[in-house]
Every structure is written in structure tokens, then in C-alpha cells.
């Protein structure tokens, strides 16, 4: 029959299920024993260290849906091993023990002594475990076998495995230039851009450390701070060094000694080899301006001039340097406070200079002003540096809004370039690093984004948890349910917001907690779903993708086909809305629907309601005051008779929660009186299915509700308990607990029922 696990080193046969210690293994044994199509053959456990410990169920399964003599070669009865690892976050592996079991595409590598490993799920592990039960797991195995046998499991499009001042010249200063120029240990250099077709070019002043890493040509930088000048008539630009010298002399400034001091600076006693050629130089004049003699400096005027002469040759012409044995030496000497130099060659005055516009990279305050943003922003954490997250971060950092850290564990793949701020050279790099790098590059370092590689849900990662706790706003753009649901249970974290674009790219959603986090994301999510179920716009809001494509060979490498333009439309809206809503203390749910043909956008607002929480043994039940008000209204309408209906919601075992989203009214064929209520069924299945469809199969049936007559509380009657047992029996087939909600005169009670295996 294949591998004999009891003969493998590190495994022993167990005689009784009680010998198992892994909870999932025990639950599986019970589920197999209850299932008609499964037979428990053997129990095995490893004697390996705890981290590698595993427990294995050898079972036989029969599938009525497997065609006889199918071309694939799957049999009606197959022997399988259910490999349960000690890591509760890992999936249970299903191994086919028949040596002749067919090699199919939807199989894992099969690392355990060769047996075929069935790939049961397309979704990420966290999505699978959210609603995983042993009973559903067993049915999934049968579904896999039957679909594979029919040749209907593998999609045909999945690939097989394989992988100024008008001037042509500009000088741009750093955003923190005043700080840098006053630091003795900071040396500056000019990085020259390629010449433009009009003959102009741009020079950027850079700290020499970063300039040395750039491929652009370096040029000399000469900075002169002039004596204070009294403002007067505007002078025309000089075009030679002589004209500049004369202009400054009229204002009492002798240019030559200042120029020579700069030209000889850095020329050590050993001189500079003649081969060290620098093709141009830039003179930057810092001119303190006053209104009248002796007055306070009003501003520092800045003007720059480009000299196309080699600076060392210019130094010889001005008398600052001398050329000896193919080396340049400084000949200037400082005597009694003034500079004396060898007689300069008069032709230095004829040296052409070109006026340069002096610009400056904006710092954060300047960026905020230019962006018409009056709020400097939070100390924020962005969870998810994907298509939407990276675009929003780019918008925030360019406007100088916020100080950001970004958490992501994914890397850039080739297909990401279609819909991400990354470039081709970034393929293979971590998305968080790319987002941080591009934010720094776009702002010349005025905005620094801290990249954190990892999973924001990892509660054991100190760096991640510290960044989350030290923030005052966390924005989730991960497009997954894991982080917003998990973070809702962490009270030591700051205010959260979550943003996402709908699957077809025509809609987007912003959910933001209140400042004090009294209404968490989990409740906002449920209230959003309720609006989807009830409102006309919800009918098509979460409609499926335009299309999908396989971005790799793995079963889970499925990506959405969507134009980047749609992402950017919503990214701009969401980025701005997060900025605006952060200034308000209230919670908010806002939805945008866009007409792709006209570009028109409809906006819908949902007023969040406070949340109620009921704690049971191992699960917490949540619903909000909006639902409570709805239930009370349904009861009042039906008085004096009782009424009831179905509860809609979702389970999430990753956070041990059941969230009630909505309550459907009584079907038309229901029987009601003053003291009793029997729910009908007309239209009910369709209503539940529609609710599920509108919410992308997240919301479904979770139980029943009914009301009590006037003057009665929500205390359950004997009949109510019987009903709960009946509901629990029905839910047991899926291994799920059932809820019963009772609406009384002044209270609401929720009961939970679950059958023990």
C-alpha cells in the first residue's frame, strides 16, 4: 500500500486515540470515526523533538463521485495519511499511500518519504485556518479526489511548474542645506546631470558621501559667504569673473581673496596631481541682506555662477595655485589677517561665468505648504506595501505628511511592475525596502521611511510590535482580513484604519476606528457587510475580478487582472481621506463606487455604532447597537405576536470570534402568535445565498433569532433550549457552534450551542 510509517525511524504505532496529544489530531480522529465514508486504519506518532513532532492518521476514504475507470487513475477507495504537525499554524498534510497513485499537477513536493502530497487549497494558510474544521477538511479531501478524477480540478490557464531666474543652468540645494553647511565634518560636492538639448544642465549639491555613490560627473563646489549688504537696485547678471568682481567691489566686497581661499582649500602639502581634472566649478554666493546699515539681516540671498574652467587651472590664473612637476600646490599665505598671493594672471577676469538658478529640495514643512496640507501628520505604520499601499505611501511622503514605517514580508516579482511603484531593477527586492527607498529618493531624504520586513500579525516579532505600539496611527492596506481582525483584539495599539480596492477595481473602502478605539475594525467590518446586504449599491459592489491570471506555477499564485489607473484613482482618494479623517475623533466607514465608463464616483457613508461583546468558553460573540436597534424594531412591528428569523454573520477561529452581521426578518410563511413562533422558509435560502454573494462568501448562516411577547425578558424558555439543541445538531455537520438570539422587552440575550464530539 505504500510507505509503512510505523517502520520509519522516529515513529511508533499508537493503540488508542487517547495517546495523541495534538488537539487537531484528536479532533480529526473523532471526525473520521463519525464520517461514514472514512475508516480509521492506524494511528502513528513521532518520537522526534517537539518542534518536529507530528501525529499521523492512516485512513481509508471512499468517494462516490469518483468515476469508475477514470483516465487519471484515482480509485474509488484510497488509503491516505493525515500528517498533523506540531505547528498549529501549519496545514495538515494529506499523503497518498498507494505507490501507483497518479502524479497530478495539484500536488505538493511530498517531502515525507515520497508519497504524493495532495494540494487541497488555493488560498493562503491563514485564510484556510480561519474557518477550518475537521469535518470540512475531510469533505475537502473527497472533493479533491473527485475533481481530480474528473479532470476538473486544474484550471487550463495555470502554467506548469518552472520562474532659473531665467537660465539654462540650475543649482539645487539639499532641503537641509543650512544644517549641512554648518557642520565641519560634512563635505559637499556637486553632482551634474547630463546636458539638456538646450545646452543647460542641473547641478545638485550633495553630501560627498552620497555623491560618491552616484554615476553622474562630479564638479567643484565653491561657497562664499559675503559681508552684509544693504539692499539697493537690482543688478544685472555678470557674465565674467571680472564683471562679478567689479559688481561686488561696488558693494565693498573684494572677490579675489575669497575666491583664492576657496580654490586652495583642500590642497594639502603634497599638492594635487595634474591628472585629477574637474571639468567645471560652481560659485555660490550667500548674501546677507539688510534694509539699512546696521540693521538686522532680513534674508540670505543666494546666487550661483557656473565656471566651465578646470578649477585647478583657474587657481593658477587667480594666483591661488602653482603648477610644479605636474602637481598643483597652494601658494596663498595668510598674513596679518589678509590673503597675499602671487600676482595673478589678468586673464582670470575674462573667465566666462553662467548665472544659475538656485533652487532647493522641499523639506516636510515646504512639501505640506505646497500640498495645501495644514497638518503635519501622524507617526504612522503602513501595513502592506503592495499596489495600493505603496501608491498611498508615495502620495503621503511627497506631501511631507507623517513619519512612516512600512511592514511587509513580500518581495517584488516581475508581474508586480504592472501595478506597483517599483521599477524593473527592484525585482527580487523586498517591497518594504523598495517603498522606503523610493520615498527617500523622491524627497532627497527629507522624508525617511523605515522598512520592516515581516508579518504585522507576528506578535512575537519585537521590532514589529514596538513599531506598532509607538505609532499613533496604523493604516492597513494589506488587502487581507488577518491583520485588521487580529489587531482588533490588541488594546495596547493605537488607532487603526483599513483601506482596500474592490476586486473589479471599481470601488474602494475606508474604515477608521475612533480615536479611543471604542469601535474596533472588526465591528466596522461587520457594519460594512450589513450595508452591502441591505443597500442597493451593495448588489454589485464586491463583484468578481475583471479576470485573473497565474503569476507563477503555484496553486496560490493567482493575481487579479486590473489596470493600474483604477488603483491610482482609489489610492489618491483613500490617501486624502485618511489625511482628513485622522483629524476627526469619530469612527468612520466610507465607500466609493466608480463608473468605469464615465469616471463618475458615488460615495456612501455608514455611521458606525458601538459594539457589544459576549464571552463564552472559547469564543467571543460580537454584534453592534445598530443590529440591536434593528432587532428591537422587528419585534415592535410584530407585537403582540412573537417573531424571528435567521442570524447572518461569520466565524473566525484565528481570533476565536463569531461576529453577527445582520438578522433577516421572518419569512412570509412563518407561524406566529402571542406565545410562540415557528419560522418559515419561503425565500430564506435565496436571501442567505444573496447575503453570502454580496459579501464575497464571508457572511453566512450562524443561527436563529426570535422575540418574546410584551412584558417578557429575553430569558430563554424550555422551548428555546430545545430549539438551540436542534440548531446545534444541524451546525455540527460543519463542526460549527450555533447561536440563538432572543429579543425581550428590555434586553437581548445570545446563547451558544455546540455538540461535543
Element (H or E) spanning 246, and its range?
A: helix 241-249
Q: 10 Å Cβ neighbour count for 336?
A: 5
| b/e code 557-574 from CB counts within 10 Å (16+ = b) | ebbbebebebbbbbbebb
Q: What are phi and psi of 723, to 5 degrees?
A: -60, -40
Positions of E strands within 397-495: 403-408, 450-453, 473-476
Closest CA to 430 of 385, 477, 399: 385
Q: Assign 29 to helix, strand or coil.
A: helix
Distance CA(114)–CA(148), nearest Å, equals 20
Cα–Cα distance list, 621 to 339, 616, 756 (Å): 84, 8, 19
Give the DSSP letter of residue 36: T
Catalytic residue, chosen from 642, 704, 726, 745, is 642
C-beta of residue 593 within 8 angstroms of C-beta of residue 600: no
7-11 contacts, C-beta under 8 A, 24 or more apart: 8/113, 10/46, 10/47, 10/48, 11/44, 11/45, 11/46, 11/47, 11/56
> Which three cell numbers mark 649?
454573520
Residue holding cell 484515482? Answer: 74
Whole-angstrom Cα distance, residue 700 to residue 31?
23
Phi then psi for residue 116, to 5 deg, are -60, 135
Question: From CA 185, how far away is CA 207, in angstroms rounded?
Answer: 10
How far apart are alpha carbons 435 and 385 in whole angstroms? 7
Q: Cα separation of 610 and 626, whole Å?
A: 8
Query: Quick count: other Cβ atoms within 10 Å of Cβ 130?
Result: 19
CA atoms within 13 A of residue 52's CA, in its CB half-sphere: 7
Among residues 718, 733, 655, 735, which one has the least CA distance to residue 751? 718
- Strand 601-606: give its sheet, edge to edge: 450-453, 403-408, 379-383, 473-476, 496-501, 507-512, 588-594, 601-606
Helix (H) or strand (E) holding 117: strand 116-118
Helix (H, G, I), strand (E, B) or coil at 414: helix
What contacts 404, CB < 8 A, 6 or more positions away?
Answer: 380, 381, 382, 393, 396, 397, 439, 447, 449, 450
Is 642 among the residues known to form the active site? yes
As a whole number of angstroms, the distance between CA 501 and CA 592 comes to 9
The span from the CA of 378 to the CA of 472, in Å, is 6
Report whether 528 contacts 511 (CB < 8 A): yes
Distances (CA, A) of 340 to 322, 329, 705: 14, 15, 99
User: CA quadruple 12, 13, 14, 20: dihedral positive or negative?
Assistant: positive
CA–CA distances in Å: residue 605 to residues 473, 481, 527, 589, 631 = 21, 21, 11, 6, 22
Q: Which three cell numbers stand for residue 240?
A: 565674467
Instruction: Answer whether 708's CB lies under 8 Å from 745's CB.
Output: yes
Point out the residues that are catalytic: 642
Amino acid at each position: 500500500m505504500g510507505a509503512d510509517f510505523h517502520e520509519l525511524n522516529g515513529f511508533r504505532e499508537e493503540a488508542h486515540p487517547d495517546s495523541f496529544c495534538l488537539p487537531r489530531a484528536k479532533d480529526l480522529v473523532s471526525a473520521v470515526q463519525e464520517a461514514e465514508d472514512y475508516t480509521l486504519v492506524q494511528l502513528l506518532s513521532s518520537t522526534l523533538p517537539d518542534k518536529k513532532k507530528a501525529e499521523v492518521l492512516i485512513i481509508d476514504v471512499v468517494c462516490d463521485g469518483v468515476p469508475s475507470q477514470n483516465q487519471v487513475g484515482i480509485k474509488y477507495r484510497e488509503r491516505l495519511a493525515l500528517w498533523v504537525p506540531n505547528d498549529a499554524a501549519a496545514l495538515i498534510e494529506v499523503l497518498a499511500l498507494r505507490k501507483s497513485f497518479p502524479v497530478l499537477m495539484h500536488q505538493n513536493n511530498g517531502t515525507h518519504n515520497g508519497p504524493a502530497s495532495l494540494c487541497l487549497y488555493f488560498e493562503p494558510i491563514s485564510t484556510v485556518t480561519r474557518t477550518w474544521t475537521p469535518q470540512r477538511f475531510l469533505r475537502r479531501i473527497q472533493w479533491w479526489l473527485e475533481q481530480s478524477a474528473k479532470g476538473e480540478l486544474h484550471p487550463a490557464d495555470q502554467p506548469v511548474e518552472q520562474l532659473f531666474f531665467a537660465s539654462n543652468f540650475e543649482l539645487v540645494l539639499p532641503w537641509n542645506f543650512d544644517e549641512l553647511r554648518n557642520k565641519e565634518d560634512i563635505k559637499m560636492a556637486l553632482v551634474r546631470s547630463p546636458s539638456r538639448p538646450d545646452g543647460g544642465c542641473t547641478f545638485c549639491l550633495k553630501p560627498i558621501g552620497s555623491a560618491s555613490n552616484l554615476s553622474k560627473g562630479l564638479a567643484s563646489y565653491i561657497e562664499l559667504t559675503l559681508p552684509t549688504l544693504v539692499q539697493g537696485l537690482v543688478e544685472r547678471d555678470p557674465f565674467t569673473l571680472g564683471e562679478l568682481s567689479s559688481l561686488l567691489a561696488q558693494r565693498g566686497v573684494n572677490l579675489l581673496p575669497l575666491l583664492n581661499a576657496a580654490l586652495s582649500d583642500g590642497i594639502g602639502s603634497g599638492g594635487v596631481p595634474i591628472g585629477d581634472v574637474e571639468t567645471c566649478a560652481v560659485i555660490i554666493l550667500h548674501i546677507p541682506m539688510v534694509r539699512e546699515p546696521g540693521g538686522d539681516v532680513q534674508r540670505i540671498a543666494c546666487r550661483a555662477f557656473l565656471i566651465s574652467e578646470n578649477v585647478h587651472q583657474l587657481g593658477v590664473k587667480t594666483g591661488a595655485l602653482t603648477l610644479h612637476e605636474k602637481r598643483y600646490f597652494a601658494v596663498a599665505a595668510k598674513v596679518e589677517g589678509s590673503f597675499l598671493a602671487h600676482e595673478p594672471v589678468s586673464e582670470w577676469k575674462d573667465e566666462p561665468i553662467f548665472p544659475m538658478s538656485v533652487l532647493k529640495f522641499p523639506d516636510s514643512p515646504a512639501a505640506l505648504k505646497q500640498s495645501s496640507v495644514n497638518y503635519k501628520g501622524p507617526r504612522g505604520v503602513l501595513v502592506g506595501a503592495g499596489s495600493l499601499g505603496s501608491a498611498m505611501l508615495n502620495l503621503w511622503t511627497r506631501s511631507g505628511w507623517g513619519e512612516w514605517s512600512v511592514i511587509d514580508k513580500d518581495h517584488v516579482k516581475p508581474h508586480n511592475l504592472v501595478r506597483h511603484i517599483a521599477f524593473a531593477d527592484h525585482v527580487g527586492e523586498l517591497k518594504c525596502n523598495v517603498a522606503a527607498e523610493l520615498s527617500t529618493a523622491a524627497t532627497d531624504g527629507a522624508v525617511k521611511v523605515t522598512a520592516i520586513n515581516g508579518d504585522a500579525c507576528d506578535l512575537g516579532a519585537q521590532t514589529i510590535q514596538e513599531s506598532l505600539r509607538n505609532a499613533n496611527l496604523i493604516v492597513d492596506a494589506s488587502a487581507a482580513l488577518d491583520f485588521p481582525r487580529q489587531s482588533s483584539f490588541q488594546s495596547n495599539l493605537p488607532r487603526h484604519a483599513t483601506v482596500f480596492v474592490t476586486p473589479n477595481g471599481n470601488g474602494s473602502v475606508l474604515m477608521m476606528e475612533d480615536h479611543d478605539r471604542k469601535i474596533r475594525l472588526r465591528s466596522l467590518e461587520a457594519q460594512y457587510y450589513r450595508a452591502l446586504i441591505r443597500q442597493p449599491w451593495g448588489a454589485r459592489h464586491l463583484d468578481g475580478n475583471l479576470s485573473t491570471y497565474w503569476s507563477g506555477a503555484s496553486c496560490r499564485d493567482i493575481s487579479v487582472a486590473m489596470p493600474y489607473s483604477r488603483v491610482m484613482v482609489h489610492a489618491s482618494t483613500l490617501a486624502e481621506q485618511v489625511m482628513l479623517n485622522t483629524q476627526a475623533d469619530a469612527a468612520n466607514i466610507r465607500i466609493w463606487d466608480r463608473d468605469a465608463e464615465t469616471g463618475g464616483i458615488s460615495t456612501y457613508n455608514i455611521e458606525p455604532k458601538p459594539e457589544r461583546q459576549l464571552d463564552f468558553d472559547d469564543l467571543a460573540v460580537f454584534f453592534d447597537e445598530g443590529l440591536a436597534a434593528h432587532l428591537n424594531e422587528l419585534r415592535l412591528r410584530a407585537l403582540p405576536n412573537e417573531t424571528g428569523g435567521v442570524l447572518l454573520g461569520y466565524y473566525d477561529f484565528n481570533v476565536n470570534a463569531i461576529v453577527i452581521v445582520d438578522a433577516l426578518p421572518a419569512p412570509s410563511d412563518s407561524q406566529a402568535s402571542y406565545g410562540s413562533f415557528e419560522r418559515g422558509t419561503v425565500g430564506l435560502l435565496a436571501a442567505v445565498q444573496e447575503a453570502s454573494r454580496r459579501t464575497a462568501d464571508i457572511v453566512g448562516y450562524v443561527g436563529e433569532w426570535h422575540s418574546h411577547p410584551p412584558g417578557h425578558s429575553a430569558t430563554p424558555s424550555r422551548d428555546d433550549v430545545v430549539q438551540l439543541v436542534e440548531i446545534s445538531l444541524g451546525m455540527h455537520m460543519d463542526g460549527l457552534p450555533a447561536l440563538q438570539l432572543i429579543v425581550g422587552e428590555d434586553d437581548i440575550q445570545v446563547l451558544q450551542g455546540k455538540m461535543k464530539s
